[in-house]
Amino acid sequence: MAAPLLEVDDLRVEFGTGPETASVLNGVSYHVDEGETLAVLGESGSGKSVTAQTVMGILDTPPGRITGGAVRFRGEELLGAAPERRRLLRGESMAMIFQDALSALNPVYTVGFQIAEQFRFRRGMSRRDAMARAVEMLDLVRIPSAAQRVKEYPHQFSGGMRQRAMIAMSLALDPELLIADEPTTALDVTVQAQIMELLDELRRERGMGLILITHDLGVVAEVADRIAVMYAGRIVEQTDAASLYAHPAHPYTRGLMDSVPRVDDLGRGAGAPLRPIPGLPPSLSAIPNGCPFHPRCAYAVDVCTDEVPPLREIGAGHRAACHFAERFAAEGPDRPATQEVISR
């Protein structure tokens, strides 16, 4: 089998130095194939964005420091590659869209200018041609009267339109991999759906790989082929979307699912009560011993405080980092798991 489009292998990143050192990534591994959507799910601070920034090569170093692992694009190792080589990959092979399009777009240049810039400086086009291409890009992401709006500034766009412009910009050089870092978090719910639909459609048309970073399970369900759940700088569960929903194998994944209301519950009147995950994610400069999730885990037993559970295969393509992953997976999502599950 050919190398996957993108492969992140045991990536480790630290922030800061001395006693303040925070281990932000503690061995993250995932891969994305051509035309595939991988959703990376997790709370803020779990390392989703840092992984993406490391892949893109736009992590601020310092304060960040890559201490181990590899990022391979079509088999080519990137972490050791020359900066110029990495720059040429950006935009061309991999592109990224950010959560807050308002601050991610330069406020003093028109939207058209910022899209055209790539055609001018990466494709050597003239100003005029580049601007014409920018209009086409805005058309592609369905911004009405693109020819006029191309001359407007980011602050003159609505939130949804701004994110569309951001998408247009990221697709300008026709990348093979698109990383979308919480692309809909800052938007209204109705607009969120439109943007997700647009992203999904563009991915299918162009056969791009898509990494969708989000903390929103609802967003993921619709579009993801596979899902990686991150916690405290680690992947704790990774599988295809269907198995994740049917057989969540990590208590954290279950916690995430239990803490959002599900539409089918509403129809039945009073559904299962929401059960938020107690506690807070650990401080990354003081990750607890053993399983990093154990202080918040309702099922934690002695072994959880002592041994770090490795990420291991528990079924076809289903990997989880829990000592009792098989039992949780067998339980399914709906029956509330009890202490019994583990003691049996």
The minimum distance between CB 107 and another protein, in angstroms, equals: 5
The minimum distance between CB 65 and another protein, in angstroms, equals: 16
Q: Write the CB contacts of 231 (distance below 8 Å, at least 6 apart in sequence).
A: 42, 43, 46, 252, 281, 292, 293
The minimum distance between CB 87 and another protein, in angstroms, equals: 5
Whichever of 140 and 221 has its CB closer to another protein, that residue is: 140
Helix 127-140 to helix 111-123 angle, to the nearest 10 degrees?
120
The minimum distance between CB 57 and another protein, in angstroms, equals: 8
Token pair, residue 141, equals: 């992401």
The minimum distance between CB 24 and another protein, in angstroms, equals: 17
The minimum distance between CB 79 and another protein, in angstroms, equals: 17
Whichever of 40 and 172 has its CB closer to another protein, that residue is: 172
Whichever of 104 and 298 has its CB closer to another protein, that residue is: 104
Q: Write the CB contacts of 264 (distance below 8 Å, at least 6 apart in sequence).
A: 271
Whichever of 67 and 106 has its CB closer to another protein, that residue is: 106
Whichever of 153 and 245 has its CB closer to another protein, that residue is: 153
Q: How far apart are CA 320 and CA 235, in angstroms?
A: 8
Whichever of 100 and 216 has its CB closer to another protein, that residue is: 100
Token pair, residue 185, equals: 């978090």
* Residues within the interface to another protein (CB under 8 A): 20, 56, 58, 60, 87-92, 95-96, 98, 100, 103-108, 117-118, 121-122, 153, 155, 169, 172-173
The minimum distance between CB 60 and another protein, in angstroms, equals: 7
Q: Write the CB contacts of 210 (distance below 8 Å, at least 6 apart in sequence).
A: 32, 36, 37, 38, 177, 178, 179, 180, 199, 203
Closest residue by Cα to residue 54 from 75, 37, 30: 30
Phi and psi angles of residue 177, each rounded to the nearest 5 degrees, phi first = -130, 130
Strands 37-41 and 226-231: parallel
The DSSP letter of residue 230 is E
Whichever of 186 and 223 has its CB closer to another protein, that residue is: 186
